[in-house]
A = this chain, B = another copy of it.
Amino acid sequence: MDDYPLTTLPLLERAERLFPAVRVATRAPDRSIRATDYFHVVRRARSLAAALLGEGIAPGDRIGTLMWNHSTHLEAYLGVPAAGAVLHTLNLRLPTEHLTYVINHARDRWILVDDVLLPLLAMVRDRIQPERILVVPFSGSRVPEGFEDYETLLARYPPAETLPARGERDALGLCYTSGTTGNPKGVLYSHRAVVLHSLVVASTLGVAQGDTVMMVVPMFHVNAWGFPYFLTLLGARQVFPGLHLDPASLVDLMETEKVTCAAGVPSIWFGILEALEKEPGRWKLVPGLRMIIGGSAVPESMVRRFDALGIRVTQGYGMTETTPVVSLSVPKAEMQAWEPERRYPVQARQGLPLPFVEVRIRLDKEDLPWDGKSSGELQLRGPWITRQYYGEGESTGKWTEDGWLRTGDVATIDTEGYIEIVDRMKDLVKSGGEWISSVALENVLMGHPAVREAAVIAVPNAKWGERPLAYVVLREGMTAPPDELKGLLERRYPKWWIPDEFRFVASLPKTSTGKTSKLTLREEFARSTAPPPA
């Protein structure tokens, strides 16, 4: 067989040649819609590649992007690897010390930055040494004095018609973990990993050329779940919300662009759900609209509530180390005919492992059965699972001796093969020598109509070692007495699982990727019980 390498170059050529007029739409900062198409996106990506090559960027060099979701970011997703360089998407929600760290650790030669994000870049500017900073005039205004205009550079370079050949093991992208413990760690994505991931994720989701997909998942998060690549491969329409991420703006965009599929994290989707429920007749969405939700667990109540609105939820699971999608909660064919109440729990699981991703759950180096009860650490291997962090050796404790990735997540796998994450290894509550799943408790609490968000953490206890404590955020104007919440939990779980205390708070602390920061909650709890400083 032909030794034809699996790279992303054919994606560009395909979209340009076969789907030139397919729409790519972006909401601009002034709320207007800017429409372009694959032809122009790819021509510009080729110009970007020409500029990188012409200005001395060498194969494997890192190009940082500090950008919102828009068509110029898509251009960079396609154009930077087309020049043989590595796209390093910078998470604009990282604490500045981490942002500084990742730019320096990656030795980004250039940074492409949205004009609207220049204030953020200014906060780290004197601690980083990129050779060039190119400002994308996303706002539509003139690029500020003293900065180099991305558009000016692009205009100087006609599209590169011939792109340098790359090997399929060559790197195409770089993302860092959010570094909840210690410094962020980098993961290099190869062309091969991204291509295989694209093919498998697209076909498992059943997303097709006829779809119009809105990427709410930030393009600065874990490879944007691979969406920019597989949507380009398919020739599907792409819709970018820019920086308008409030529920009403997102639902407006879904309506006007006739979105058929949208992807994002649960916190965004909570807001959308509430907006849709509050004003049932306000928006006309495309029938059969699907939501791909990932990044943290989707409570069953969310699946049920979206279903009542005619919107089907598919949950995805993955992480920076896995390109990132590992599993999708697509129901099996026979489950489609199940009563909704039987189907919802399946959709609320993290899903079936994707083809070519091998999964196992382990406790003390022993494989556990797929019985839906036995829980152990979820471990993975496959063609888009990384084997090492960028710039570090292999032996960081993140991989088993036989080469599987240790996810740090505690999971069960049911007899059908659906993975359910029951906790983070470090978030399990060990009470009287037995394990309690904080995630299981949170999911039940979030099913209460008055509860908007909940988080359960382990707190030290003299008698039991640890006991669960629940933080609860109520919905506006609603209440949920602790006894009522306890009763709800007792219907599903043993008495000793029930948190001893419920703390009602206005909001939960979040990590830079939008997940609840249990580390912060544990620290807050420690401070709240520590003796006051003398």
Chain A residues with a Cβ under 8 A of chain B: 1-4, 6, 10-11, 14, 17-19, 22, 169, 188-190, 192-193, 195-196, 199-200, 202-203, 206, 208-210, 233, 235, 323, 332-333, 336, 352-353, 355-356, 358, 370, 381-387, 403, 416-417
List 11 interface pairs A-B (beta carbons < 8 Å), by A numbering. Answer: A1-B323, A1-B384, A1-B385, A2-B381, A4-B383, A6-B196, A10-B355, A18-B352, A199-B200, A209-B332, A209-B333
Expressed in whole angstroms, the Cα–Cα distance for A199 and B4 within the complex equals: 16
Contacts of A190 in B (CB 8 A): 1
Expressed in whole angstroms, the Cα–Cα distance for A186 and B3 within the complex equals: 18
Would you give the shortest CB distance from A106 to chain B, in whole angstroms?
17
Would you give the shortest CB distance from A417 to chain B, in whole angstroms?
4
CB distance A10 to B332 under 8 Å? no
- A10-B356, A356-B10, A417-B17 known; A1+B383 contact, CB < 8 A: yes
Contacts of A4 in B (CB 8 A): 356, 381-383, 385
Contacts of A206 in B (CB 8 A): 206, 208
CB distance A2 to B383 under 8 Å? yes
Expressed in whole angstroms, the Cα–Cα distance for A532 and B323 within the complex equals: 73
- A1-B384, A1-B385, A381-B2 known; A336+B10 contact, CB < 8 A: no
Contacts of A22 in B (CB 8 A): 333
Q: Which residue of B lies closest to A207 (CB)?
A: B203
Expressed in whole angstroms, the Cα–Cα distance for A193 and B202 within the complex equals: 19
CB distance B386 to A2 under 8 Å? yes
Would you give the shortest CB distance from A5 to chain B, in whole angstroms?
8
Contacts of A403 in B (CB 8 A): 2
Q: Which of B195, B235, B336 is within 8 Å of A332, CB to CB? A: B235
Given contacts A2-B386, A208-B333, 13 further A-B contacts (CB under 8 A): A1-B189, A1-B192, A1-B384, A1-B385, A2-B383, A4-B381, A4-B385, A10-B358, A11-B355, A196-B199, A199-B355, A210-B333, A233-B355
User: A19, A203, A385 — which one has the most chain B CB atoms within 10 A of its CB?
Assistant: A203
Expressed in whole angstroms, the Cα–Cα distance for A293 and B417 within the complex equals: 34
CB distance A385 to B2 under 8 Å? yes
Contacts of A353 in B (CB 8 A): 18
Expressed in whole angstroms, the Cα–Cα distance for A323 and B4 within the complex equals: 14
Contacts of A382 in B (CB 8 A): 2, 4
Expressed in whole angstroms, the Cα–Cα distance for A287 and B189 within the complex equals: 43
Expressed in whole angstroms, the Cα–Cα distance for A200 and B332 within the complex equals: 21
Would you give the shortest CB distance from A22 to chain B, in whole angstroms?
8
Would you give the shortest CB distance from A395 to chain B, in whole angstroms?
16
Would you give the shortest CB distance from A516 to chain B, in whole angstroms?
30
Expressed in whole angstroms, the Cα–Cα distance for A189 and B383 within the complex equals: 20
- A1-B192, A189-B1, A416-B18 known; A6+B210 contact, CB < 8 A: no
Q: Which residue of B lies closest to A403 (CB)?
A: B2
CB distance B333 to A6 under 8 Å? no
CB distance A203 to B192 under 8 Å? no
Contacts of A203 in B (CB 8 A): 199, 202-203
Q: Which residue of B lies closest to A211 (CB)?
A: B333
Q: Which residue of B lies closest to A380 (CB)?
A: B2
Would you give the shortest CB distance from A101 to chain B, in whole angstroms?
23
Contacts of A416 in B (CB 8 A): 18
Q: Which residue of B lies closest to A18 (CB)?
A: B417
Would you give the shortest CB distance from A505 to chain B, in whole angstroms?
41
Would you give the shortest CB distance from A175 to chain B, in whole angstroms?
13
Would you give the shortest CB distance from A298 to chain B, in whole angstroms?
21
Expressed in whole angstroms, the Cα–Cα distance for A387 and B208 within the complex equals: 31
Expressed in whole angstroms, the Cα–Cα distance for A202 and B206 within the complex equals: 10
Would you give the shortest CB distance from A502 to chain B, in whole angstroms?
40
Would you give the shortest CB distance from A515 to chain B, in whole angstroms?
25
Q: Top 8 A-B pairs ranked by shortest CB distance?
A: A210-B333, A203-B203, A199-B199, A18-B417, A4-B383, A1-B193, A1-B190, A2-B385
